[in-house]
Structure 1
């Protein structure tokens, strides 16, 4: 007998909790409390699915944004400032991939310049800042710029010729 009373008290307690959680009125019977509980659960599931869709859309937007940023940085950029006679500050930025440092250093060697200080990064594409000193005082900013663009262009030129050869073989 006490077991039935405990079950009834436990059931009433659970119904009261459900009534409070679903904002049902106090005179509601079990069926209406159950229906409102299931309705509340269904609404929560729909809200969760909406949040998941919004999250996936945000992730896709973020991925597109990052790819756009990477495409913006694809341009080759060479900036050269003349510090004093025969000394230049060189800044090179271009897309990631390929061997860029070696051709640039070879171009420096061909121009007969010494690299006093250099910083190289490959984190968001290739970037290099260097202070170079020319052995020949007649070296001009335009000459350095052309040599570096030619050195960077060698890499993209090789890739283009490979793609051309591959497409002609098809």
Structure 2
């Protein structure tokens, strides 16, 4: 007899726990079972929705990273005119290749004398230089185009004429 009472108490405790978990007020076992199955189904649907949203977020993240890598411009040339025929040149690009040699050759072709320079290859190639032009007619745009060609970047314009304006000998 005591065994039946213990089983009944145990069953009532389990049913009470199920009522609490399924937010059901039903006292009948069959309706409690139905509400439990319904609750489990709703939880399954919610889990599938969360999984789909997670997969969409991962796909969006991958697309954003791909676009950022595609858009990320690794080559940059900035030139400021400091004085008459004097320019502050800043070049930033990826490591590798003969960037310094190409830039110095471009300076030589344009008859630019480098008075002071600082070069770094820590997180990529970086050059900062003060250059003085022998020919005072050089423009910032001309120097930018030549340096972009020297470091291998396609400028949006047609090939400009090479500078043969060095000292007339």
- TM class by smaller structure: 0.5 to 0.7
TM-aligned CA distance change 1:144 to 1:61, over 3 Å: same
- State whether structure 2 residue 131 is matched by structure 1 residue 130: no
- State whether structure 2 residue 72 is matched by structure 1 residue 73: yes
Unaligned runs of 5+ residues in structure 2 are 155-169
Distance 2:47 2:98 in 1: 49
Unaligned runs of 5+ residues in structure 1 are 157-170
- State whether structure 2 residue 50 is matched by structure 1 residue 60: no
What is aligned with 1:44? 43
Distance 2:82 2:3 in 1: 94
TM-aligned CA distance change 1:104 to 1:71, over 3 Å: same
Q: How does 1:1-20 map to 2 (within 5 A)?
A: 1-20=1-20
TM-score (norm 1): 0.65
What is aligned with 1:33? 32
TM-score (norm 2): 0.66
Residues 101-110 or 44-53, more deviating: 101-110
Whether the aligned pair in 2 keeps the contact of 1:89 and 1:130 (CA below 8 Å) is yes
TM-aligned CA distance change 1:59 to 1:127, over 3 Å: farther
Whether the aligned pair in 2 keeps the contact of 1:108 and 1:114 (CA below 8 Å) is no
Distance 1:62 1:4 in 2: 59
Q: Deviations over 1:98-149 (max 9, x none)?
A: 6373455444663442553345675xxx674623333x54363345323312
SS at match of 1:131: strand
Distance 2:100 2:127 in 1: 14
Count of residues paired in the alignment: 149
SS at match of 1:117: strand
